[in-house]
Amino acid sequence: MKRTILILFIIGATLTACSGNNEMPKPSPTSSPVITVSQEPIKEVPSPEPSLEPSPTVNDAESVLNAYMTLLLEKKYDELLPMLYEENIKMRFGASAEDWMKDFKENDFKKSIERTEFLISSINDYDANHKLAKYIVKGTLAGSSDIQSAEEFVGLVFVNGEWKIDFTLIVNHETLHENGLTTQDGTITINKIDKVKTLRGYDIYIQMTNNEADKQLLISQKDVAVGELKTDKGSSKAELGRLAITPNESGLIILNFETEPSEAQSLLIKNLQFFDKNKLPIGELFELDIPLK
């Protein structure tokens, strides 16, 4: 018989987080032990809103995106920096626009990315201060002369009288939890949980810390981790992308939903597991059951 582990959580310190999501393997039917979390009442924190000045025409936003993409093709990274909407970069990546652009530049260099042309296929109004754009970019990668193309989405935010580029697509967010909850055995801390409204749907951000000194928390590496958000009107499920949270480090888990979740009551994260430094599994799959109300 499979053991069920019940571990109450205690209040811990809030920590910062980083992110990373990739391709997902197939899910496992294996049942999991459950770790139950207790917490204080939800605290809602209003999200900073962009300027409510009247929005200029779509052509103005398009000219900004055209200028950004042209500079990107020319690899003028320093000139791209002031065009970014930094507030959402801090929310999504926990980094300044300067640090984000530095990582972006290093990734281009490591992968020998050469962008050769782009086409803006659409720019649609979301509200007076947000637009969602779709574009196609073509180029080459390291080790190949074949031209590849990719279709991408980008947001445009009107703030302080000008349009800014926003790759996070964030519109606003509501904090569901931010006090820090640590398992009684001290292995994991849930630092913060946000419900994030985006230009393409809704996300749940979970900032989590692995407190183990010699164990990795590998998410969706072998068995796909699944998040189930239980609300007053039912439940919604979303798979988690690959993420490695190394010993004594933090990570940002993101669940994507196409429609807005109703009033959140609890969040169940399934198929979590610790691994050693050689990526060999330690112990059984387990779950985190986090009440949000």
Q: Which domains does the chain have, with CATH numbers?
A: 9-43+178-291 (2.60.40), 58-170 (3.10.450.50)
pLDDT, residue 50, reads 52
pLDDT digit string (tens) for 272-292? 999 999 999 998 999 998 888
**What type of residue sits at position 289?**
D
- Give the DSSP per-residue string, 270-283: EEEEEE-TT--EEE
Q: Provide the 10 A C-beta neighbour count for residue 143.
A: 8
Beta bridge partners of 256: 203
Q: CA angle, corner 287, sides to 286 and 293, nearest 5?
A: 160
Low-confidence ranges of the chain (pLDDT < 50): 1-48, 51-59
What is the bridge-based pairing of β-strands 216-219 and 130-140?
Answer: unpaired
pLDDT for residue 183: 79
Q: Which two tokens stand for residue 276?
A: 């050693």
Neighbouring-strand partners of residue 157:
130, 164
Question: What's the farthest any 2 CA atoms get from each other in the chain?
Answer: 64
pLDDT at 177: 85
Give the pTM.
0.72
Q: What letter would DSSP give residue 81? A: G
- The per-residue pLDDT for 259 is 78
Residue type for 261, please? P
pLDDT for the residue 178: 85
